[in-house]
Structure 1
Amino acid sequence: MRQEYTGDETASERRRRRRRERPSFREQLQGLSWWQVALVLLPLVMMFIGGALGGGIGGGAAVGNLSLARKSMPSAVKFLVMACVCAVAFTVFFVLEYAIRSVWAPTPYVASQPGTGYAPVVVNTPATPSPLSTCWTQTWAPRPVAMNRPVVIHATGAEVSWPAYANITCNPANDLAAYEIHRSTRPDFTPSAATLVATVNANDTSFVDRTAPATSDPRAAYYVYMVAVRTRSGQVVAGATQLVRLPEPGQTELVLQTDKAASLSAKSPDTIVDPNGYSLTVSPDIGGEGAERAVFEFGPLTALPRGAFVTDARLNVACHGTNSATISVYGLTRTFDASVATWNSAASGVRWRHPGGDYTTPSGSSMAGSSELNPCDFDATAIVRGWTDLRSAEHGLLLRFGNESSSLGYGAYEAGDTGNPDDRPALVVTYE
């Protein structure tokens, strides 16, 4: 029954009255035929299979069908229209759900069974659940943490870091209890009490290992690190490993990877050859096509302590080629922008003083090209020592053929891939 109200009713009172007078959803279904009620309620199934996403789409479709059911139109037409609304709603839901889930691809990893201590088994991890899905619609396995590549390595161990663990399973038993740091001399080791170096508080995401046996034998100084997750249920989730070579006693090594690199092409002097640095190329002038050079930028060497003496510095790139001529590394004397650098320009609106890059004389030794894919080291010790004496002198490195006139008619040389962490160029500095 509608309430009587006076003309001096306020706006807020009027809104409250209208809400009280508005029929409930159940009341709105009264008077509809059974098939109309079924088509109104059918989209609401998505609320139970699709969480927030399903609830939003299903609720909207249900409201739409309720409005259609109240309209005056032939029953056959009304049935077809309401059925189409249901079909469209379910189609949109499944398409969006698939698109969201495809962002998180399945990843195989190693995890141990609860209650068995260190007994890891290989588990095929399903995709990470959509943030819009309910927890109970899928059974998710705990996801491991991916250890970062160590940047600082001491003679007694590496400084290890990793991203924080996230429990994607919605199961409290899989909450983080602690991190475990493991170290072994075997690349395929299984985490165990014998490989456990330390247990780290759940709030920490870094650890400095000072317990690795120091050695002056370079063949015995390789260790494999792993960060494992121990859950509240006792399950151990083993992560990926990182291979580390320890420097000699008394020394520390910095491994500075870069994604700021570019190729410079004399053939296309004003063209950005590869703005992402995914395929760095060094080559001589082959058949009049123009030489190519590669430049690398590592930023300020803030991790290198002032007063440290650099004993060795090398540019490390994953490389292969088909020219037996030598390649040399040079220190740049002008800062560049890897995203826009060309043969003629170091940055937007800034030209090289000398086309092809401004650089010093070559540093140390150079090396010959190889047809095999190898990690190639270029001695940059003299250049980096100059940077430690004058920090403002650090502008990056350049690779080029010592003699860019090719008599062979071939000689392209791949010099790293910044898009692949395993092939990303790195400056490896050893100091004491």
Structure 2
Amino acid sequence: MKDRIVSAEVLVCSPTRNFVTLKVVTADGVVGYGDATLNGRELSVASYLRDHVAPLLIGRDPSRIEDTWQYLYRGVYWRRGPVTMAAIGAVDVALWDIKGKTLGQPVYQLLGGAVRDRILSYTHATGWDTAELLDSINAKRAIGFQAVRAQSGVPGLDSVYGVHRGAQGYEPAGRGAYPVEETWDTDAYLNHVPGVLAAVRDHVGPELKILHDAHHRLTPQQAARLGKSVEDLDLYWLEDLTPAEDQNALRLVRQHTTTPLAIGEVFNTIWDCHHLISENLIDFIRVAIVHAGGISHVRKIFALAEVHQVRGGPHGPSDVSPITLGASVHLGMATPNFGIQEFMGYDPLVDEVFPHAWSFDDGYLTPGEQPGIGVEMNEELASLYPYEPAYLPVARRRDGSMTDW
């Protein structure tokens, strides 16, 4: 008789930040873990999993990964969206974890084997002023990073996406019952940031890969202006220049700049990004494994992207758990058109709660050879850190009207 799923449990914990984890157990005692974290809306996914998805898994054959994906996606009239796809993604990664453990192989071997030896990664360098930013870049280079996302403060603003005044790191989610409200000024940003990026390039020379994130805050015209103004700086990419919902906006940007464009961390399915990929309006697609339906679905997105010479650059902030990062590294090892992996790193406590086989060295990530995804969960330790309400900020223009955070 084939092995069957006997339990599916949702675990919510907060070791410095909130994580939602799905634990799937088979009759043979094999345990698979999947990440379902959706920053600022964690409990919505936890409920979706616990109340609607987990009961459907009991008795199913864990080896039928694609069939389970289709069952959970096509079997529900209300499809897509971050909550649904994060829940499906958690199931998918947990089943790949089980498959690898059952066969005694790391997941990348089950995806066709390695097409590279290691995966280039980038991290975040931040500073309220240019001097602080350059110091931050120096520190990241000192630990081996060969690619950094550079974000700085803007004169006249008290807070800016990607930077906390006087802080060494950046944590956008604030604990408490309500989100923090930030004031934003696009004109001030556009007048300031090209000079900052020029100073960065002058400081680091031609070798370091420089990335920058506008976080969906620009109109198509503003985005085109920024892309054109930094062309000679040879950026690795400009990220999320315009709101992702308006995909035609990237067409105007593309017409005015050859600076590489990256977008997609808020996309959840192949249908969200096929237009941008098939019409070559972007250079990197940034879907996260957890938010885009897991390994099974993201590999299809990357396969479409490969046809159009678009590379993968998955979202990988510290608000996806080490399980998602592990899944992303496994997929990257087996994906020819994988470009780069975002890697902010984790607090030591998070690493202790989620011990992992993946590792970072000299600017690169490797998945390790542990069967499955290679990330476990110390459930006893996790239970000491219960969920705490935390929200991402919201942003208003100087006149008080809402804009995109």
TM-score range, shorter chain: under 0.3
Structure holding more helix per residue: 2
If asked which structure has higher relative contact order (CA below 8 Å, sep 6+), I would say 2
The TM-score normalised by the length of structure 2 is: 0.26
The TM-score normalised by the length of structure 1 is: 0.25
